[in-house]
Amino acid sequence: EDFLRILERIESGQELDRSDILYLLSTQREKEINTIFSAADRIRKETVGDAVEIRGAIEFSNYCRKDCSYCGIGSSNKCVKRYSMSEEEIMEAVHSVKAMGMKTVILQSGEDSRWDTPRLVRLVERIRNETGMKITLSVGEKSREEYEQLRNAGAVNFLLKIETTNRDLFARLHPDDDYDHRLQCSLWLKELGYLNGSGNIIGLPGQTLDDIAGDILYFKEMGINMIGIGPFIPAEGSRLENHPTGDIDLTLRVVAVTRIVCKRVYIPSTTALASLDKDAQVKALQAGANTIMLINTPERYRKSYNIYNNKNMVDMASAAYAAEKAGRPLPSYIVWQAVNPGHECIVG
């Protein structure tokens, strides 16, 4: 039988092909679905262990020169109140991330010309010198030279999602982008020695399970290190504002199958999942995910980084809640009671 053959391949560490992956994404048999989730949970444990890695994200600008049809901060959305943080404001936020014990800070923004590469280079150098933290950048498409300058300045991780590997769908969603160029950017990042982050959105218009199987194979074949998988959520003022929300259970299934196929990678339990349902973040941790990204954007700007509607504020308290409920420890270096004096510390 199909499933038993696939299961055998999983257990014996053999690679799955596209039709195997499609089967795992499609099956509606309860027993098979449970087996997929427990295999993913086991592989997560064997490859990256039990600790839930926590990182702090600072969304430092919502100006964007691009106009992706799903995104709430696209350039044509006139309802967005635009902000671009100063270096001093960013440093203050970075120091508060460090104070919570986190080792990695994620700097994310739209493609903002105010934050050109020379300015970003100075910021990265300053964060390295003042805090010694690891830096993840999520600032979109740049030239190879620019990626190299940022790498030399001390950034070690880069998140640039492919969003979908269906070329026609990619083209329809991204009026300002070219699929082959996005691929090229990701290859440059890899060549330059960044830990390479990608990911997709589940529930895009016309997206099929076969497309998603292709996404998972792409992550595997490209040697992607960090894979962010989130449900589509409509964003007010975007061209897809009336398109239905992506399915949570399918998103969890994609997390599980990605863990099974890609094995030793970072998979966040995404903010998009948390925004739809508080317990979806717990379920993702039990389906193969192993990291959580906190939102450390200053309060006064958070509402304006509305890449989709009702974006949840994932803070240390909600991350600790999700980790505890999933029966998984936070790393011992997390010191969140220091900044949340009202809460009891659940970590050693």
Residue 179 contacts ligand 5AD per CB under 6 A: no
Stretch of residues binding ligand 5AD (CB under 6 A), selected from 127-135, 232-240, 293-301, 321-329: 232-240
* Cβ closest to ligand 5AD, residue 168 vs residue 236: 236
* Cβ closest to ligand 5AD, residue 251 vs residue 286: 251
* Cβ closest to ligand 5AD, residue 69 vs residue 286: 69
Residue 235 contacts ligand 5AD per CB under 6 A: yes
3-state secondary structure the chain: CHHHHHHHHHHCCCCCCHHHHHHHHHCCCHHHHHHHHHHHHHHHHHHHCCCCEEEEEEEEECCCCCCCCCCCCCCCCCCCCCCECCHHHHHHHHHHHHHCCCCEEEEEECCCCCCCHHHHHHHHHHHHHHHCCEEEEECCCCCHHHHHHHHHHCCCEEECCCECCCHHHHHHHCCCCCHHHHHHHHHHHHHCCCEEEEEEEECCCCCCHHHHHHHHHHHHHCCCCEEEEEECCCCCCCCCCCCCCCCHHHHHHHHHHHHHHHCCCECECCHHHHHHCCCHHHHHHCCCCCEEEEECCCHHHHCCCCCCCCCCCCCHHHHHHHHHHCCCCCCCCCCHHHCCCCCCCCCC
Pairing verdict, β 104-109 and 53-61:
parallel
Least spacing, CB of residue 159 vs ligand 5AD, in Å:
7
| Site residue total, ligand 5AD (CB under 6 A) | 12
Stretch of residues binding ligand 5AD (CB under 6 A), selected from 50-58, 188-196, 206-214, 230-238: 230-238
Return the residues of window 158-177 that contact ligand 5AD according to CB under 6 A. Answer: 161, 163
Residue 232 contacts ligand 5AD per CB under 6 A: yes
Which one among 23, 37, 60, 70 touches ligand 5AD, defined by CB under 6 A? 70
3-state secondary structure 99-143: HCCCCEEEEEECCCCCCCHHHHHHHHHHHHHHHCCEEEEECCCCC
* Cβ closest to ligand 5AD, residue 36 vs residue 307: 307
Return the residues of window 259-298 that contact ligand 5AD according to CB under 6 A. Answer: 272
Least spacing, CB of residue 68 vs ligand 5AD, in Å:
7
Residue 230 contacts ligand 5AD per CB under 6 A: yes
Least spacing, CB of residue 57 vs ligand 5AD, in Å:
10
* Cβ closest to ligand 5AD, residue 227 vs residue 322: 227
Return the residues of window 291-310 that contact ligand 5AD according to CB under 6 A. Answer: 307-308
Q: Which amino acid makes up residue 325? A: K
Least spacing, CB of residue 309 vs ligand 5AD, in Å:
8
Stretch of residues binding ligand 5AD (CB under 6 A), selected from 23-31, 181-189, 206-214, 227-235: 227-235
Which one among 36, 48, 71, 102 touches ligand 5AD, defined by CB under 6 A? 71
| Nearest CA-CA partner of 218 in 264, 181, 266, 183 | 183
Stretch of residues binding ligand 5AD (CB under 6 A), selected from 10-18, 78-86, 231-239, 312-320: 231-239
- Residue numbers at the binding site for ligand 5AD (CB under 6 A): 70-71, 161, 163, 201, 230, 232-233, 235, 272, 307-308
